[in-house]
């Protein structure tokens, strides 16, 4: 074969291989990757792994109002729309004198769309970014205060890795953005200056993790390094403990537990609870659950208030943090009472 022809064919095949999704919308790419995946995880590019359920959420498009039933994975379509349940919960808390700050954790693929497949760039996810902005504006118009971290995560994604490559959670750097955003909101509350403050010590630490996505893929030897900051009480030198009497509740899924609970959540003393507590100056009340931070987390809060009738007395703020993919989650959005 003529060398020139061989060179042209080789270059053409390489171009096709590296631009498989060129011209494909981000939503279509997510849908295609979900369809081709045989496991719970999806392999992206440059060693990045993504949760299949997260990509399915992004492929679903608009997920509230009349579109909720189609987008939701819930079998009971009556509870598909997240808006009514969130608005009602906000009102229940308001009636108790408690301010809700809704702090969803954006999908990793929405912050790093260029890592899901060759041929997908950051601009491809523009429509989905606009969709989230529209959704949060709707909640805000209904009186719900939303802490939207998407702008900060997108701004920081190139200078620091804000999500783990092989895990479903944010990284230490990403976690710091969430902690700062939450504490900045709480510090604006009028009662905040009246609460006694403690002193805390901080020590940087680098750890190696075998992420949950890597384990799902059977890649037990795949590790990545994570930079954390360990928080300790300055006087005792001990890790912080959740305070049931704290005016602030941190409610949610494993994003409230990662780097705090140890074991398969990797570390202790460096989680969202630890950093929010240290920045506020006092330990908050941690109500975190593994799995969904939507219904199970709210049920846990209900049970706590049922066991202790005075539990909600003195509570001023509830920070509700969970993976945004739960907006279309299998459990749906049931109305859960705040207290008996």
User: What pLDDT, in 10s, does the model give residues 233-246?
Assistant: 999 999 999 999 99
Return the domain boundaries, the chain: 3-328
Where residue 314 falls (left for φ over 0; alpha for ψ -120 to 50; beta otherwise) is left
Q: Which residues contact 177 (CB under 8 A, 6 or more apart)?
A: 149, 152, 153, 156, 162, 170
- Nearest C-alpha neighbor of 110 from the set 130, 125, 132: 125
Cβ 305 vs Cβ 312: under 8 Å:
yes
Each residue's pLDDT tens digit in the chain (340 positions)? 454 443 333 333 333 333 444 446 899 999 999 999 999 999 999 999 999 999 999 999 999 999 999 999 999 999 999 999 999 999 999 999 999 999 999 999 999 999 999 999 999 999 999 999 999 999 999 999 999 999 999 999 999 999 999 999 999 999 999 999 999 999 999 999 999 999 999 999 999 999 999 999 999 999 999 999 999 999 999 999 999 999 999 999 999 999 999 999 999 999 999 999 999 999 999 999 998 999 999 999 999 999 999 999 999 999 999 999 999 999 999 999 999 8
Cβ atoms within 10 Å of 108's Cβ, excluding its own = 30
Report d(CA 44, CA 278) in Å as an integer.
36
User: What pLDDT, in 10s, does the model give residues 188-244?
Assistant: 999 999 999 999 999 999 999 999 999 999 999 999 999 999 999 999 999 999 999
CA-derived radius of gyration, the chain = 21
Q: Where are the alpha helices (DSSP H) in 196-271?
A: 212-216
Q: 24 is written with which tokens? A: 């494909």
The DSSP bridge partners found for residue 100 are 318
Letter string b/e over residues 168-200, b meaning 16 or more CB atoms within 10 A of that residue's CB? bbbbbbbbbbbbebbbebbeeeeebeeeeeeeb
Strand, helix or coil at 326? helix
Taking the complete model, does pTM exceed 0.85, yes or no?
yes
The pLDDT value given to residue 24: 61
The DSSP bridge partners found for residue 287 are 251
């Amino acid at each position: 074969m003529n060398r020139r022809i061989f060179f042209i064919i080789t270059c053409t095949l390489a171009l096709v291989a590296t631009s498989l999704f060129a011209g494909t919308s981000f939503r279509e790419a997510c849908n295609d990757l979900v369809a081709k995946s045989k496991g719970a995880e999806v392999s992206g590019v440059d060693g990045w792994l993504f949760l299949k359920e997260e990509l399915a959420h992004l492929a679903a498009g608009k997920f509230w109002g009349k579109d909720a039933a189609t987008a939701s994975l819930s079998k009971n379509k009556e509870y598909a729309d997240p808006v009514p349940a969130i608005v009602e919960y906000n009102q229940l808390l308001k009636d108790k004198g408690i301010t809700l700050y809704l702090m969803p954790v954006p999908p990793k693929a929405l912050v790093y769309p260029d890592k899901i497949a060759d041929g997908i760039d950051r601009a491809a996810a523009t429509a989905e970014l606009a969709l989230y902005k529209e959704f949060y504006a709707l909640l805000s118009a209904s009186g719900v205060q939303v802490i939207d971290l998407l702008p900060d995560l997108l701004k920081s994604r190139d200078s620091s890795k804000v999500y783990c490559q092989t895990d479903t959670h944010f990284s230490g750097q990403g976690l710091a953005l969430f902690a700062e955003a939450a504490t900045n909101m709480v510090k604006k509350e009028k009662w905040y200056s009246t609460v006694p403050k403690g002193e805390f010590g901080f020590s940087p630490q680098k750890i190696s993790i075998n992420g949950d996505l890597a384990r799902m893929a059977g890649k037990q030897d795949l590790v990545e390094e994570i930079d954390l900051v360990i928080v300790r009480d300055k006087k005792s030198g001990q890790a912080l403990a959740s305070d049931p009497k704290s005016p602030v509740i941190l409610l949610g899924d494993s994003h409230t537990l990662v780097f705090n609970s140890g074991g398969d959540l990797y570390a202790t003393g460096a989680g969202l609870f630890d950093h929010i507590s240290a920045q506020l100056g006092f330990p908050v009340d941690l109500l975190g659950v593994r799995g969904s931070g939507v219904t199970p987390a709210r049920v846990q809060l209900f049970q706590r208030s049922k066991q202790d009738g005075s539990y909600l007395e003195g509570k001023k703020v509830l920070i509700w943090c969970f993976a945004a993919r739960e907006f279309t989650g299998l459990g749906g959005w049931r109305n859960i009472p705040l207290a008996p």
